[in-house]
Chain A
Amino acid sequence: MKSLSQTLLKFAHLRFALLAALVALGAVATAGAQNPRIQTSQLDALAAKASQTVDVNIDERLMQLTARFLSSKDDDEAKVKELVNGLKGIYVKSFEFENEGQYTEADLEGIRSQLRNTAWNRIVNVNSKKEGSVEVYLMKTGDQVSGLAVLATDPKEITVVNIIGPIDLEKLTQLEGQFGIPELEIERAKPKRKN
């Protein structure tokens, strides 16, 4: 009888330890899942094929350094300063190719698999055969935006934008055309309608 109770006690301890380990694993997994940083290193191989590459990595330290060079007196710079205030990082990777077919969907799978995480919510998905597609993802912590990811593709271009921190989407969108940020005129001339 005594040995049975001891065995049961051992099992109880084992179950408790197992439960604790599972809780710890879950916490680690949740913490990893909530990370708004997207790894884009798998796209680096495309740099060899690209005619133009943009790779911007601004971490929190560099962001603070840059913020010191933005004047609070100048209205435009003040807007940018306000926009980037509190951000923990901006990462952009863009590849432009001379010809179509330089990349495949498999190249983007690494990015998409990260964005399929439940922490990310796709808020915009634009698909255009001529102008490519743009997917905008947001990660929220409570009511606050904690991360933004933009995946824009067209036959000759791949762009991944990852902003860490509480970004104001409206202000960021309105930034185009201001303060030396020219409109890139991505929206090309529309074809005439046939009557």
Chain B
Amino acid sequence: MNIDSDYLWDKTGKPDPEIQQLEEILGTLRYQPRPLEIPAGSEVRRNGDFFRDFGPRLAIAATIAVVLLGLGLWLGLQRLQRSQPQAVVKNANTPGPSVNPATASGRTPNEKQNQVVRLPDSDQKPADKSRRHRVNSALLAANRVRHEARKEAVRNPQLAVNDLQAGKAAKDQLMLALRVASAKLSFAQRKTQSTSPRDPVQNQHKIG
């Protein structure tokens, strides 16, 4: 093979037949500009990163989850703050303890109230400072509300009186109902007891 470097370099020299043959053979594989043909139904798969693919969706989902969590915590705290004062006000305003300080379980209202706000292991060793702080804040809130309830009761004693009156009215109704029921039953009992032994004697008289 006679190689003319000019031909190989810029095709200006004498061409070599073998090289021309090679060029013809390989010419079929020459680059030919044409539009890219994508076969229909083919699926393009990328070996992308998971976080890069689903990052935006994950971010949206995480944001929603954080917002929901925060909302839930806020509502829970609101409910907790609302329920504690109610329990205390109930104990402070309920006329039951004032009529009968000894409750059925033998606890005083204050003990009951403490039971409401005390955490199950609050009287154990104070290892968890945050928990102890929570107990104290709850007790403080309860005391504050109780103090306000007392002030309200002093300012407006009619509220407590109304509760007491409602309870007494219900008690009077109950007593009236029991009185009527007892009277009727007692009458029936007396009648049955008085007629039973007498009738045979009377009958004997009549027969005799």
Contacts and interface: CB of A to CB of B under 8 A. Distances in A.
A54 B179 CA distance: 12
Summarize B's interface: helix, strand, loop or mixed: helix
B179 to A, nearest CB: 5
A181 B182 contact: yes
B181 A90 contact: yes
A176 B179 contact: yes
A94 B180 contact: yes
A131 B187 CA distance: 10
A58 B173 contact: yes
Contacts of A134: 184, 187-188, 191
A73 B188 CA distance: 32
Interface residues of B, number: 32
Given A128-B191, A134-B188, A169-B185, A69 B177 contact: no
A73 B100 contact: yes
A128 B100 CA distance: 45
Contacts of B100: 68-69, 71-73
B182 A56 contact: no
B167 A66 contact: yes
A72 B188 CA distance: 30
Given A58-B174, A69-B171, A92-B176, A187 B187 contact: yes
Contacts of A173: 182, 185-186, 189
Interface of A: 54, 56, 58, 62-63, 65-66, 68-73, 80, 83-84, 90-92, 94, 124, 126, 128, 131, 134, 136, 148, 150, 152, 159, 161, 163, 169, 172-176, 179-184, 186-187
Interface of B: 94-96, 99-100, 102, 104, 166-168, 170-171, 173-192
